[in-house]
Homo-oligomer: A and B are copies of this chain.
Amino acid sequence: MLELNFTCPVPLPAGDCILLAHGGGGTLMNQLIERVFLPAFSNPALDARHDGAILSIGGARVAFTTDSYVVQPLVFPGGNIGDLAVNGTVNDLAMCGARPLYLSAGFILEEGLPIETLRLVVESMRQAAASAGVSLVTGDTKVVDKGKADGIFINTAGIGVLEHALAIGPQSVCPGDAVIVSGDLGAHGIAILSVREGLEFDAPIVSDTAPLWAPVEALLAAGLEIHCLRDLTRGGLASTLNEIATARGVGIRIREASLPVEEVVRGACEILGLDPLYVANEGRFAIFLPAAQAAQALDILSAFPVCRRAALAGEVTAADPGLVVLSSRIGGNRVVDMLSGEQLPRIC
C-alpha cells in the first residue's frame, strides 16, 4: 500500500517550547504576550501595550518601561550593548512622550568575562546616559557559571515624566493621520548581521543607535497634536505598523518610494535576502499625527542630525482595516504582513 509522507516547509506555530522567534517581535511573540503574560497580569497600564506604562505618581504623569538587552556580538559598528541598553530604554520613554529622568541597570555576567569588557560597556553606558540627560540611580549584578549566559546581558528600566496633556499611544491613531518615519531604515540590524556573518561592504554599515528624546521634545514643544510615537526596533517598521493597524482596526498605506533606506543597506538586504521593512532600528521612530501638521513636523525634525532623512511615509485610512498596504515603485499594491518567524535573532 502506498504511503504518502508529506512534510511541511512552513514554520509550524509554537509547539510547547520557546523558539527564537518568540523573541522576534512578530506573530509568535505577540501570541506569547496574549496567551501567557496578559492573562496573568492584566491591568489598564499593561493592557494598553504601549512602549511603557503611564502611571499617576504624586500628582505627576509618569512613564515606566523596561527592556533586556542580549545583543550578539556585544560590540558592533557604531555601538555596543552598553549604549544600546541606555538608548533603548530612553527611547521607550520618549515614545511615551516622557522626558527620560532615571534608569536602573541589572547586569547578568558570565563567569570568565574579561573585566575590561565590562569596563568598556559601563563607560559606553555612562556616555549614553550623559548624552540623554538621564541618571542611572540603582543597579544589580548577578554572575552565572561559564556557559550559562553569553558574556553580558543587561536589563534597564526607566522612569520619565510627561509634561503635556496628550494621550500618546496606539489608542489615539485615527484615519487621516500622517505616518512619518524619522530616518533611514535598517542600519542597526544590518550592522549587527554584517559582523556576525563576517560580511564587508564598500561603505561600512554603522548601527543607528541613538537617543531620540531631543527630537520628540521639539515636536512636543511646538504644540503638535501627536497621536502616537513608536521606535522601530525588533520587527522593524512593518511590525510596528501592523501592531497599530490591528490594535486600532485601521488601515495603513505606505509608499515604497517614500521610505528612506541607504543604498548600502538596500544592497546588503538584497544579498542577505532580507526586507529592510522588517529589519530592526535603534534610533528611528514613526510618528502619527494629523496630516495637516506633517510638514511642520518634518521641518522640526530636519534640525536634528539623527532625523536627517525623515520622510512622510504614508497615512492611516479607514479602508483596509487591520492591514498595512505598500504601494510599490512600479505602481502595484501589496499587503505587508506581520512577520511570523524570526528574521534576525538577538538584535538588541
Interface residues of A (CB under 8 A from B): 14, 16-24, 29, 32-33, 36-37, 40-41, 43, 45-46, 52-53, 55, 57-60, 62, 64-70, 101-102, 104-116, 118-119, 122-123, 125-126, 129, 135-145, 147-150, 153, 155, 157, 159, 161, 345-346
Q: Chain B residues with Cβ under 8 A from A115's Cβ?
A: 14, 16-18, 32, 36
- Are A106's CB and B66's CB within 8 A? yes
Q: Which of B60, B101, B140, B153 contacts A66 (CB 8 A)?
A: B140
A192 to chain B, nearest CB (A): 14
Listed residue (A59, A114, A144) with the most chain B CB atoms within 10 angstroms of its CB:
A144
> With A58-B57, A115-B16, A116-B16 as given contacts, are A68 and B107 in contact (CB-CB < 8 Å)?
yes
- Are B22's CB and A141's CB within 8 A? yes
- Are A118's CB and B55's CB within 8 A? no
| CB closest chain-B residue, reference A25 | B141
Q: Chain B residues with Cβ under 8 A from A40's Cβ?
A: 122-123, 125-126
> With A57-B60, A114-B17 as given contacts, are A36 and B138 in contact (CB-CB < 8 Å)?
no
Q: Chain B residues with Cβ under 8 A from A59's Cβ?
A: 58-60
- Are A345's CB and B145's CB within 8 A? yes
- Are A20's CB and B145's CB within 8 A? yes
Can you list 18 A-B pairs with a CB-CB distance of less than 8 A?
A: A17-B112, A18-B109, A18-B112, A32-B141, A41-B122, A41-B126, A43-B136, A45-B135, A46-B137, A55-B101, A55-B137, A57-B58, A64-B102, A68-B155, A144-B153, A147-B147, A149-B149, A159-B159
- Are A36's CB and B119's CB within 8 A? yes
| CB closest chain-B residue, reference A150 | B148
Give the distance in Å from the alpha carbon of A141 to the alpha carbon of B33 in the complex: 9
- Are B58's CB and A58's CB within 8 A? yes
> With A126-B41, A148-B150 as given contacts, are A53 and B138 in contact (CB-CB < 8 Å)?
yes
Q: Chain B residues with Cβ under 8 A from A58's Cβ?
A: 57-60, 62, 161
> With A58-B62, A59-B60, A66-B105 as given contacts, are A37 and B139 in contact (CB-CB < 8 Å)?
yes
Q: Chain B residues with Cβ under 8 A from A69's Cβ?
A: 142
Q: Chain B residues with Cβ under 8 A from A23's Cβ?
A: 109, 141-144
Name 11 extra pairs, CB < 8 A, besides A18-B114, A53-B102, A145-B346: A14-B115, A16-B115, A18-B110, A20-B143, A21-B143, A36-B115, A40-B123, A41-B122, A43-B136, A59-B60, A69-B142
Give the distance in Å from the alpha carbon of A345 to the alpha carbon of B144 in the complex: 8
- Are A143's CB and B53's CB within 8 A? no
Q: Chain B residues with Cβ under 8 A from A141's Cβ?
A: 22-23, 29, 32-33, 37
